[in-house]
Chain A
Amino acid sequence: MNLGNVDIIEAVMDNLPVGVFVKDASDDFRFVVWNKKQEEITQMSAATALGKTDEQLFSKEAAELFRSIDEDVLNSGKLKKIPQESIRTKAGKRYLRTLKLPMNDPTTGRILLVGISEDITESVETQKELERLSERFNATSRELQETQNQLFQAEKLDSIGRLAAGVAHEVKNPLAMLLLGVDYLDGGIAEDDPNIPVILKQMREGVTRADSIVRGLVDFSSQSAIERKKTRIRDVFNSTLLLVKHELVRANVKLRLGIADGLPSVYLDVPKFEQVLINLILNAIQASGEQKKKEITITAQTERLKNVDPDEGARTLRTFRENDLVVVVRIQDNGTGIDPDNIDKIFDPFFTTKATGEGTGLGLSITRKIIELHDGKLQLKNRTDEVTGTIAEITLPTRLGNTANIKSPKSKTEDSD
């Protein structure tokens, strides 16, 4: 098509927002067209570029790459898109998105290579900056996660310190049984002694008991990132109560346990959830104070959520929905309850009513954080029935939330409980 006016074509070329260049494949790919935008992108004038080859204008590496693409385009006879390539210019590195296509000049019979380049430097650099920022964000987030884990661990070590004497006491009783068994057997064994089977049974039980309590403590002490597995609530209570049993006995607190039958499994990080229960039970023991008949009641049951606060999600990272099936664990003591002046502060980090050196003041804030990592909710309130005291209420979802800390929820072994 002949527009009949070369000036118009040139004007169009020079006003295009993309770089346009044409190489003559019949003449060593020398440039024959180089528009204004191409001058701007490459920081090279048409006067410099025209009549030259890539090798004369660009680095050897770039020139070789361009040539190979050019040959590829000519051989295939098809248009080729190069999503991103780079050149060095006086103004620095530029990123280009380029289209190359072969063309025959009908008048001269020359084979031409037409290129159209768009300068995408800005968006590539923005992208790179975004990647750098995202990497930094991830690193910071990992660091925070790590710090949080260390904080959890520090608080856990504090509980272990409080439990250690009791746990040792619990281990000493089975050890005492073993020693008595050994003493008996050491005194000579008559074949028909009816005590022998009883003694062996008790010794075996002693070993099992000592083993389970030591293992319980080791499992509880393990430091790891939060990892939730399908768990039966009853099992967590069994392992937890083994660790706090001695504290209850020593404080002369009567424990009433009411775990409903057939509770649905919940997704728990067992050591971290034990940490929560231990913390709340030790608090309840302390709160029982000087009452004559100290009593802690622990219940677990399913409930349907009613009157869900629509703003809940903003604070707890998860929105409980109306009518959701949840497992509710309540730990109630019959102490004096929480001072109304303190009720808004109890979850604040470092808030404590205990003497300096007793507790870190982080217990409840960490306990609540762990529950939130389980997509659950922890509330502390005063009892409103005829008895004074505190209720710690844990609400756990029975369906999976969106958090990523669930360990292979679809795995078959997890499901068979």
Chain B
Amino acid sequence: MPKKILLVDDEAGFTQLLKMNLERSGSYQVRIENDSLKAVETAREFGPDVIILDVVMPGMDGGDVQAALADHPMLRSTPVIMLTALVESSELPSDSVAQAGENIVLPKPVDINLLTRAIEEAIV
């Protein structure tokens, strides 16, 4: 049974390509949500094993979505991987994979192998 991944990012082209990459191995089933305001609703309905969240989005940003997820009993424990294209070095994790609280933060552009590893680590 493939693991379910919810991808929340306003960049439609990026999410489409990421979905294709992740689903290729057959290990994952990916659902895209380009509207961050609908992220929680989609997550409730889809029941993902892991949520990949963009940080800078119109409407609700990654932090807002995360806070809303944490408020939800069903989604509270779903692991979150944050993706950020922010460039100020202070905002970037120093290692390739860094822990920010309980969440993993990865820089954009993201290496697919790195992301896959992060997903596997998060799901365990």
Contacts and interface: CB of A to CB of B under 8 A. Distances in A.
Interface of A: 165, 168-169, 172-181, 183-184, 187, 195, 198-199, 202, 205-206, 246, 248-250, 252, 254
Given A176-B110, A183-B21, A183-B112, 14 more contacts: A165-B86, A165-B88, A168-B85, A172-B87, A172-B109, A173-B14, A176-B11, A176-B14, A178-B109, A184-B21, A184-B24, A199-B20, A205-B13, A249-B58
Contacts of B57: 249
Contact of A169 (B24, B56, B111): B56
Contacts of B14: 173, 176-177, 180
A175 B24 contact: no
Contact of A181 (B17, B58, B87): B17
B103 interface: no
Main secondary structure of the interface of A (DSSP, over half): helix
9 contacts: A174-B13, A176-B11, A179-B110, A180-B18, A180-B21, A180-B110, A187-B21, A205-B13, A250-B56
Contacts, number: 75
B79 to A, nearest CB: 21
B40 to A, nearest CB: 17
B108 interface: yes
A295 B102 CA distance: 34
Contacts of A248: 58
B109 A249 contact: no
A199 B11 CA distance: 14
B65 to A, nearest CB: 13
Nearest to A202: B13
Contacts of A175: 108-109
B16 interface: yes
A334 B110 CA distance: 37
B109 to A, nearest CB: 4
Contacts of A169: 56, 85-87
A195 B21 CA distance: 10
The 10 closest A-B CB pairs, nearest first, are A172-B85, A176-B109, A180-B17, A179-B109, A183-B112, A168-B87, A176-B108, A202-B13, A169-B85, A175-B109
B39 to A, nearest CB: 15
B35 interface: no
A179 B85 CA distance: 13
A197 to B, nearest CB: 12
Contact of A202 (B16, B58, B61, B86): B16
A172 B86 CA distance: 9
Contact of B87 (A165, A177, A195): A165
Contacts of B17: 177, 180-181, 184, 199, 202
A207 to B, nearest CB: 12
Most buried by B among A172, A173, A199, A252: A173
A249 B113 CA distance: 29
Contact of B111 (A179, A246, A254): A179
A181 B111 CA distance: 11
Interface in B1-34: 11, 13-14, 16-18, 20-21, 24
B58 to A, nearest CB: 5
Interface string B39-77: 000000000000000001111010000000000000000
Contacts of B112: 179-180, 183
Interface string B73-115: 0000000000001111000000000000000000011111100
Most buried by A among B11, B17, B24, B88: B17
Contacts of B88: 165
